[in-house]
């Protein structure tokens, strides 16, 4: 029997974007961010690092409970890029991996017209 691995594409502050999604995947790849353990192309790894840096720009680092600097349009740009990255990773890794993208969450704290 060939194992199927469950992955979560989920961006965290300061790094880490691919996480094990089930016990089978954790036993094989461990806990914490696992993108460096996966058979991904160097170009994909670079794009994930760029997306992580982009994601980190959404936080108000001076006072994280307050809304960050992104407007709704920037959140949607990021979400579209992350969904495309999920599709790319799925294609690159193949059918032995099931990848779910976990969105950043609802856009809150700003008027949609800003």
Strand, coil or helix: what is 20?
strand
- % the chain with pLDDT above 70: 89
Residue 89 lies in a domain: yes
| Enclosing domain of residue 72 | 5-101
The residue among 95, 84, 99 whose CA lies nearest residue 8 is 99
The structural domain count of the chain equals 1
Q: Is 33 helix (H, G, I), strand (E, B) or coil?
A: strand
Q: What digits encode the pLDDT tens for the residues 11-34?
A: 999 889 999 999 999 999 999 999
- Three-state DSSP class for residue 73: helix
53: in domain = yes
Confidence of residue 59 (pLDDT cuts 50, 70, 90): very high
* Whole-number pLDDT of residue 104: 81
| Interatomic CA distance for residues 94 and 103, integer angstroms | 22
Confirm whether 52 is domain-assigned. yes
Q: Is residue 21 part of a domain?
A: yes
Burial class (CB in 10 A: 0-12, 13-18, 19+), 58: middle
- pLDDT tens for 88-114 read 999 999 999 999 999 986 444 444 433
Residue 8 scores a pLDDT above 80: yes
What distance lies between CA 87 and its chain's CA centroid?
A: 12
Q: Is residue 58 part of a domain?
A: yes
């Amino acid at each position: 029997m060939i194992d199927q691995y469950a992955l979560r594409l989920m961006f965290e502050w300061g790094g880490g974007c691919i996480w094990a999604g089930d016990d089978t995947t954790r036993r094989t790849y461990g806990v914490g961010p696992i993108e460096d353990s996966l058979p991904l192309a160097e170009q994909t790894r670079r794009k994930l690092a760029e997306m992580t840096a982009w994601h980190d720009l959404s936080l108000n680092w001076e006072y994280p409970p307050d809304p960050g600097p992104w407007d709704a349009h920037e959140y949607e740009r990021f979400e579209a890029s992350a969904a495309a990255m999920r599709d790319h990773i799925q294609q690159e890794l193949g059918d032995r991996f099931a990848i779910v993208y976990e969105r950043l969450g609802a856009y809150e704290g700003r008027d949609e017209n800003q």
